[in-house]
Chains A and B, each alone.
Chain A
Amino acid sequence: MSTPSSAPRPFRRQEFDFWSFFFSGLTGLSTLFILLILAVILGNIFYHGWEGLSWNFVTSGTERDMFDLESAGVLPMIVGTSARVILMTILVVPVGVITAIYLTEYARSGSLATRFIRGAINNLAGVPSIVFGLFGLGFFIAFVGVGMDRILGYESAHWGKPALLWAAATLAVMTLPVVIVATEESLRAIAPGLREASLSMGATKLQTVAHIVLPQALPGILTGAILAISRAAGEVAPILFTGAAYYMATMPKSLSDQFMDLGYHVFVLSTQSPNIDQTRPLLYATVLVLLLLTFALNFVAILLRARLRRKLRAAH
């Protein structure tokens, strides 16, 4: 037995290790560097975009000239982007939620169907956005649209051409994995005890899902929808051939109309402008509008998700 005076202290401070210090600093710096780039991008866009942003800019159209600094606005693009995104949400959320319900409530984790469904979802999430564009053109327009024209008896192409509906459908295919994953997460966050209690009261499985599980999962489903919307709102490649128009004199009036899109307009302004230096304020302001839109949506989703995660921790 050693005497108290000679015993080592129970918690000895670590010896200073240079390489540990060095590499910890390096990884920390790379994190900071990423955040710095983010700050530079956002700062640059906010700084230059702020001047061009005005109430007039958001509420006026492009009737006179889309490159005219004084009169050109982004209202048609905001309307177009909102329309395609809302339509997409209507298409994707039911399918995504039902798939998530099947995966969490019904599927057995090891079964072949489950494995295939999960594999397909993961694959769908990784398909390049331009391939979705090709798919929309090849399937929705050239197959479904042309088929509809034939059945409904349109002489000229009515559905068999780029349209709001097809752009929304293409985006719905693209964002399906986002909705499924978010909904699944929220379904798993529901305490198993709730289901147990419902079942033990004599409710059937479906009743339990419809009356107990789904209402509880609503914030999570909402998060999924918002994440899908924010992802879709900024996507341009899938709608290049399926609905976005370079210029439209009028707002889209029906599902078969083409539309002007905020993201595509950013592309047009930055590559097709007759005088890039002169139209720069216009471009920056448009980018800022797009960015504010997607970030606001993302922010809401992050808040909802943080609440959900806390609930998840409490449930298990």
Chain B
Amino acid sequence: MRCLLHDNYPHHSHLLAPKAHQPMSHPGTPLPSDWDFIRRGRRKRPGEWVVEKIIFLVSLSAIVLIFLIFAFVGNKAWPVIIGKTNSARVSQERIIPVEDMGKHTPQELQAYLGLSARQWADMDDEARKALMELKVEMAHEKVEDKDAHINTTSWRYLFLPHQWTGYDKPEYIWQPVSQIHKYNLVPLIIGSLKTTLVALLFAVPLALGAAIYVSQLASTRTKEWLKPGVEMLAGIPSVVLGFFALIVMSSFFQHLFGYESRLNTLVSGIALGLAVIPVVFSIAEDALTSVPRSYVHAALALGSSKWQVAWQIVLPAALPGVFAAVVLGFGRAVGETMIVLMASGNASIVSWSILDSCRTMTATIAAELAETVVDGHHYRILFLIGAALFAVTFVSNLVADAIIHRLKNKLEGVA
């Protein structure tokens, strides 16, 4: 109760607290120690206590939501993580010869053919028989392919190269909709990293330069114009940036550099950079502005130029914040979906060349989830990718948060 009643503004309390309310049990002790016990305002009514508890509970919703995201995205991916999914085309199940159809109950046959009750009911005996024959035929066909026995959702096949039938060396392959579902995540991870790297290389220098200029060098008047201007970039929806990259930038870049594939990592990376710039800019600008003005004034008084102050005094003091800005920019770049979906070309190839097209983790989820069987292995693998993205951004957020927190404490301590 005391924590709720206790005044938030103790430094003003002596001005407002009615004298009669002060506990005078220790008349000899100096006043300040007594001030802690001053309770202002009317005593709460029972109804208010309930309302305040509700306010507290509602305010926990952000924590609950983070937990739910973790639980429900992780839940769908969990069978893959613990190796409970099996994508082998030929499973251990028995093949039922067509002649033996009569020996099994309809329920068994329905499960065997993987049909729903309604589908089973809609078919006549001829259709069921045809399906049985097809199943037997498929089984014979697949046994010849040694890959048909592999559970491609196990960890080994998610991350290590494998020499698939028809390939002459072990390779990383993401090919979820083929006879043999190949779920190697390495091409997607490389795609994501490659695009993110291009985006950061493009965005960070520009955004930091702009942040230094706007926070340290520009006059107050120009600043009022420049800051909202740069932040306007954040107001452009990512699907519009994706559209711009796809329709305008890709052709322009191809014309400029004359490379082969129109949609590639360079185009999507730079478009992604446009989405990252406002993130890095805002946070870096914030960090640079929070450096106490006394630092700046002291350095200026010693005869340094504005640039020297910015580069040698302000930037080093705000460096953790600038680093946090880059980390958050990284998180934004890894998680961005529509831009890369539209502009990267979406070819899942293993290549570090930025002139090749690439497929990122986010774009893969966006492009493929709608076509998967609910709770099937492809569906679960896509949720696994989502969970991995969540984990990556979660960690980068925590890191950036901790850095900013420490910086704030340090600078406020000095000021």
Contact = CB atoms under 8 A, between A and B. Distances in A.
A101 B59 CA distance: 8
Contacts of A196: 9, 12, 15-16
Contacts of B365: 130, 133-134
A192 B389 contact: no
A298 to B, nearest CB: 4
B246 to A, nearest CB: 6
Given A45-B244, A124-B65, A196-B9, A119 B386 contact: no
B396 A98 contact: no
A83 B2 CA distance: 45
Contacts of A271: 246, 342
A203 B41 contact: yes
Chain A contact patch, size range: 35 or more
A117 B59 contact: yes
A211 interface: no
A95 interface: yes
Given A27-B209, A234-B240, A117 B233 contact: no
Given A103-B59, A192-B12, A298-B232, A266 B217 contact: no
B168 to A, nearest CB: 34
Contact of B247 (A270, A294, A295): A270
A294 B8 CA distance: 38
Tell me whether chain B's interface is mostly helix, strand or loop, or mixed: helix
Interface string A66-80: 000000000000000
B48 A44 contact: no
Interface in B26-59: 40-45, 48, 51-52, 55-56, 58-59
A2 interface: no
Contacts of A199: 7, 16, 40-41
Given A196-B16, A200-B40, A34 B206 contact: yes
B184 interface: no
A205 B5 contact: yes
Contacts of B396: 126
A131 B390 contact: yes
Contact of A128 (B8, B230, B334): B334
B229 interface: yes
Interface in A215-256: 230, 233-237, 240-241
Interface in B41-86: 41-45, 48, 51-52, 55-56, 58-63, 65-66, 68-69, 72-73, 75-76
B247 A31 contact: no
A276 B382 CA distance: 30
B286 interface: no
A30 B210 contact: yes
A135 B213 CA distance: 40
A241 B370 contact: yes
Given A33-B206, A131-B335, A287-B240, A120 B217 contact: no
B203 to A, nearest CB: 9
A287 B245 CA distance: 13
Given A38-B233, A99-B62, A204-B42, A30 B331 contact: no
Contact of B386 (A99, A106, A123, A130): A130
Given A138-B75, A176-B62, A128 B335 contact: yes
A270 B237 contact: no
B44 A204 contact: yes
Interface string B361-376: 0100110011000100
Contacts of A202: 41-42
- The CB with the most chain B CB atoms within 10 A, among A38, A143, A192, is that of A38
Contact of A124 (B62, B246, B369): B62
B247 A283 contact: yes
A129 interface: yes
- The CB with the most chain B CB atoms within 10 A, among A30, A95, A131, is that of A131
Nearest to A119: B401
Tell me whether chain A's interface is mostly helix, strand or loop, or mixed: helix
B240 A295 contact: no
A128 B385 CA distance: 12
Interface stretch (B122-130, B157-165, B303-311): B303-311
Interface string B203-220: 001110110111001100
Nearest to B12: A196
Contacts of B407: none
B401 to A, nearest CB: 5
B328 interface: yes
A226 to B, nearest CB: 11
A94 B66 CA distance: 18
B389 A131 contact: yes
A1 interface: no
B61 A176 contact: yes
A297 B6 CA distance: 40
A206 B43 CA distance: 11
A269 to B, nearest CB: 8
A122 B328 CA distance: 11
Given A17-B305, A235-B237, A129 B72 contact: no
A202 B255 CA distance: 73
Contacts of A31: 209-210, 213-214, 218, 226, 230
A28 B75 contact: no
B292 interface: no
A29 B7 CA distance: 50
B239 A37 contact: no
Contact of A24 (B18, B213, B332, B390): B213
Nearest to A136: B72
A107 B56 CA distance: 9
Interface in B286-334: 303, 305-308, 311, 328, 331-332, 334
A-B complex: 9 closest residue pairs judged by Cβ atoms: A234-B237, A128-B335, A30-B209, A102-B59, A20-B307, A27-B213, A120-B62, A237-B337, A138-B72
Interface of B: 3-5, 7-9, 12, 15-18, 40-45, 48, 51-52, 55-56, 58-63, 65-66, 68-69, 72-73, 75-76, 205-207, 209-210, 212-214, 217-218, 226, 228-230, 232-233, 235-244, 246-248, 274, 277, 281, 303, 305-308, 311, 328, 331-332, 334-338, 341-342, 362, 365-366, 369-370, 374, 382-383, 386, 389-390, 393-394, 396-398, 401
18 contacts: A28-B213, A34-B230, A34-B281, A38-B229, A98-B58, A99-B58, A122-B397, A134-B369, A138-B75, A196-B16, A204-B44, A207-B42, A240-B369, A266-B240, A267-B338, A287-B243, A290-B239, A298-B235
